[in-house]
Homo-oligomer: A and B are copies of this chain.
Amino acid sequence: MTRPTLVDVARAAGVSRATAARVLAGGANVNVQMSAAVEHAAKTLGYETNSAARVLRGGRAGAIALIIAFNELDSLAGTFFTSVLKGAADALYASEIQPVLLPADHDDSDRIPRFLRSRAVDGAIVILQHEITHLAETLATSPVPIAWVGRPRIALAPDAIVVDSDNYGGGALAARALADIGRRRLGIIAGPHDMEPARDRVRGWRDELARLGIDSSSTVHGEFTMESGSAAMARLLQRHPDLDGVFASSDLMASGALRVLQASGRRVPSDVSVIGFDDVVVAATSDPPLTTIRQPLEDMGRVAAETVLAVIQGRQVDRQPILATTVVQREST
């Protein structure tokens, strides 16, 4: 009933442990007959390398931790990082690396560093959400490389791995998209003040509008949620009842804004154009479907995984790649 070991395989094939290991490792410098015998024995016995033994011997753990805030996982906001998760997991799958989930929002804040010290994983990917940015401090002294998807509030070491999308460029894209269709009375629903990506989107938006000679002063803030988007939209309408274009800097906020605009009797897009940011599932399923600035979330996850793997293997790579944002044209503009 015990699982077969390398010794069992070697015995069955009539060779030594070492030879069997050589065959299974790739088979350089091994007699063809022996090689075949070993392969056959391994298959017959249903042999699979004991990963603990391999790791102990000095190999890589063959696993990467994915650190995410579980509280948000099953909300609409969760589709943000399920996309990243998927990209990361796909890339890891291709390299035969196991993704190990680590909830970031539990009380026991020492648990994550402890886990990283146990050598159970070779590296980690932090999929950043608002609440877990505090991890940056805790993980500063991690023994294994860590990739951040999205830039945390706190300053990281200069050689930190950070995968981000071009938030500044995305803000500019949103400005141009609205300007190009003739909108001139514009407002922005910005994200939380304390998030750098949120601020970058605003900067891109303002700089581009300034370049185009359009007023960019009307700004309200939301918290990247649907409700806060609705509330922000209401405030914006109160101040500027005549506006004809809104950039909501997240799709959830845009979708909340849509409802308020429609409830106020305005039609989207004929009266007011709305453009979102992220391109998560809600963007496609809202009514009307949202034109939005797409962050390549899945690519970001994939790149984060590939980068951290490269660093683990000692390869030289760009440690702070910035992925391009693009306009996804739907029906809200």
Contacts and interface: CB of A to CB of B under 8 A. Distances in A.
Contacts of A89: 70, 101, 103
B74 A119 contact: no
Contact of A82 (B56, B78, B298): B78
Interface string A159-196: 00000000000000000000000000000000000000
B70 A79 contact: no
B93 A106 contact: yes
A226 B287 CA distance: 14
A112 to B, nearest CB: 11
Interface in A1-56: 3, 46, 48-53, 55-56
B70 A86 contact: yes
B118 A48 contact: yes
Contacts of A90: 70, 103
A114 interface: yes
Contact of A285 (B50, B51, B114, B226): B226
Nearest to A62: B120
A100 B103 contact: no
Interface of A: 3, 46, 48-53, 55-56, 61, 63, 66, 70, 73-76, 78-79, 82-83, 85-86, 89-90, 93, 98-103, 106, 114-115, 117-120, 143, 226, 259, 280-281, 285, 287, 297-298
Nearest first, the 8 A-B pairs at minimum CB distance are A52-B55, A48-B117, A74-B83, A52-B56, A74-B82, A99-B101, A51-B120, A52-B52
27 contacts: A46-B117, A48-B117, A48-B119, A50-B56, A50-B119, A52-B52, A52-B55, A52-B61, A63-B100, A70-B86, A70-B90, A73-B83, A73-B86, A74-B79, A74-B85, A74-B86, A74-B297, A74-B298, A76-B281, A78-B82, A82-B82, A89-B101, A89-B103, A93-B103, A98-B120, A99-B100, A99-B101
